[in-house]
Amino acid sequence: MGIGLKQFAPGHRTCAGCGSAIVFRHVLEALGDDVIICQATGCMEVTTTPYPETSFKVPWIHVVFENAASVASGVKRSLKAQGNNHTRVVAMGGDGGMIDIGFGAVSGALERGEDIIIMVYDTEAYSNTGLQRSGGTPFGASTTTSPAGKKIPGKQEWKKNIAMIAVMHGAKYVATANPAFWADLQAKIKKAYKLEGGPRLIHIYSPCPVGWHVEPSKTIKVAKLAVETGLWMLYEVEEGKLKINYKPKEFKPVEDYFKLQGRFKHLLGRKDIMEKIESHVREWWETMEKVEKEGINLLKMI
């Protein structure tokens, strides 16, 4: 049987080349059978459960958009009250559901130290409703509500960093992942599964070919370039200690990443903006590498 199929059936209505579908297969396989999934409204909810069908073969619940982490908190406490301490409970949602509208619920669950796994699959926009800008949308990206216009070249704010926000809540384990690095992704999910007694948050890059105007076949290519340009850093923070899992020998030019994607098309040839982004990335890496090298315990900052 193929990867993840024991937990997640085919026949779902995700678009051809969907990055989130790849993410889900790996996540669900790594989680195994003894889990309950609490999912936020979004692409991976509507495409997978068109009544009376479902792709899921593990217990799964969806309520509304912004409460996955709260539903998961209730499910976990319920199991605990019933003496079940083995089943893992996962709150899953996209950047809209977890970084924006459901952020309060995520923050609350992190603050309470809920014994759950919070998984954010980040398509960097509201993919389900036609690619509107979200807190996860990167600087410069053109979306339907931050379009590249004659005056304003796409989104003018930096991406909200949900992973470091989780660290600052004192989360037990925080990691970033990317489907192009599937073994790393699975390992992180398994680690989150194993670590008990507090919240674990995994922030996963999830390419959306239709929304990003990327060839469906290039989903993984784009995902890989996100890492190789330094725009998406693979790291984990366990008990406050940062570890960068992959360091490209040399960053590829951001332009290589942008030219595959319609959402960045307007930035090609805009040296000023490209340099602004590249220097932002460089400074971010320098800071993170310094934190890693000096062994700074990030939990001591709070």
Partner 1 sequence: MPREVMEGSQAVARVVASCDVKVIAAYPITPQTHIVQELAKMHADGVIDCEYINVEAEFSAISAILGATAAGARSFTATCSQGLALMHEVVFASAGMRIPLVMVIANRALSAPINIWNDHQDSMAERDSGWIQLYCENVQEVVDSVVQAYKIAEHKDVLLPVMVGMDGFYLTHVYEPVEIPPKEKVVKFLGKFNYPYRLDPKKPVTMGPLGFPADYARLRKQLAEAVWNSKKVVRKVHDDYAKRFGRSYGDGLLEVYGDGGKAIVAMGSMCGTIKHMIDKDELEDVSLIRVRTFRPFPKDEIKDVLRDKDTVIVMEKNISLGNAGAVYLEVRDALYDEKRKPKIVNFIVGLGGVDVNRPTVKYVVEKAEKVKSGYVEIVDGNEISASY
Partner 2 sequence: MSKTKQRKDLPGGIITDIGSTARNKTGSWRTFKPVVNLEKCTGCGICEKFCPEGCITIQKVEGYDKPKCTINYDYCKGCLICMEECPFKVISSVVEEK
**Taking CB under 8 A as the rule, does residue 176 contact partner 1?**
no
Whether residue 146 contacts residue 133, with contact meaning beta carbons closer than 8 Å, is answered with yes
- Return the residue of 80, 259, 276, 282 that touches partner 1, per CB under 8 A: 80
Cα–Cα dist 123/141, whole Å: 12
Distance of closest approach, residue 63 Cβ to partner 1, in angstroms = 5
- Exposure string for 144-159, b = 16+ CB within 10 A, e = fewer: eebebeeeebbbeeeb
292: enclosing H helix or E strand: helix 271-293
> What are the residues facing 62 on neighbouring strands?
39
Kindly state the tokens that stand for 188.
Answer: 């992180």
Nearest to 117 by CA among 176, 174, 192, 54: 192
**Taking CB under 8 A as the rule, does residue 1 contact partner 1?**
no
**Taking CB under 8 A as the rule, does residue 105 contact partner 1?**
yes
- Return the residue of 49, 132, 145, 161 that touches partner 1, per CB under 8 A: 49
Beta-carbon-side half-sphere exposure of residue 39 (alpha carbons within 13 Å): 22
Residue type, 157: E
Cα–Cα dist 34/31, whole Å: 8
Kindly report the backbone phi and psi dihedral angles of residue 52, in degrees, each rounded to the nearest multiple of 5, phi listed first.
-95, 30
**Taking CB under 8 A as the rule, does residue 170 contact partner 1?**
no
DSSP state, 62? E
Q: In terms of CB distance, is 94 or 153 closer to partner 2?
A: 94
**Taking CB under 8 A as the rule, does residue 188 contact partner 2?**
no
Q: Could you say which residues in the range 2-61 bind partner 2, by CB under 8 A?
A: 2-5, 8-19, 21-22, 25-26, 48-57
Cα–Cα dist 179/248, whole Å: 17
**Taking CB under 8 A as the rule, does residue 81 contact partner 1?**
yes
Site string for partner 1, 244-283 (x = CB under 8 A): ----------------------------------------
- Return the residue of 195, 220, 288, 299 that touches partner 2, per CB under 8 A: 220
**Taking CB under 8 A as the rule, does residue 197 contact partner 1?**
no
8 interacts with, out of partner 2, partner 1, none, CB within 5 to 8 A per kind = partner 2
How many other C-beta atoms can be found within 10 angstroms of the C-beta atom of residue 112? 15
Whether residue 254 contacts residue 231, with contact meaning beta carbons closer than 8 Å, is answered with yes
**Taking CB under 8 A as the rule, does residue 73 contact partner 1?**
yes
**Taking CB under 8 A as the rule, does residue 271 contact partner 2?**
no
Chain positions contacting partner 1, by CB under 8 A = 33-36, 38, 45-46, 49-52, 54, 56-64, 66-67, 69-75, 77-82, 87, 104-105, 107-108, 111-112
Chain positions contacting partner 2, by CB under 8 A = 1-5, 8-19, 21-22, 25-26, 48-57, 179, 182, 209, 216-221
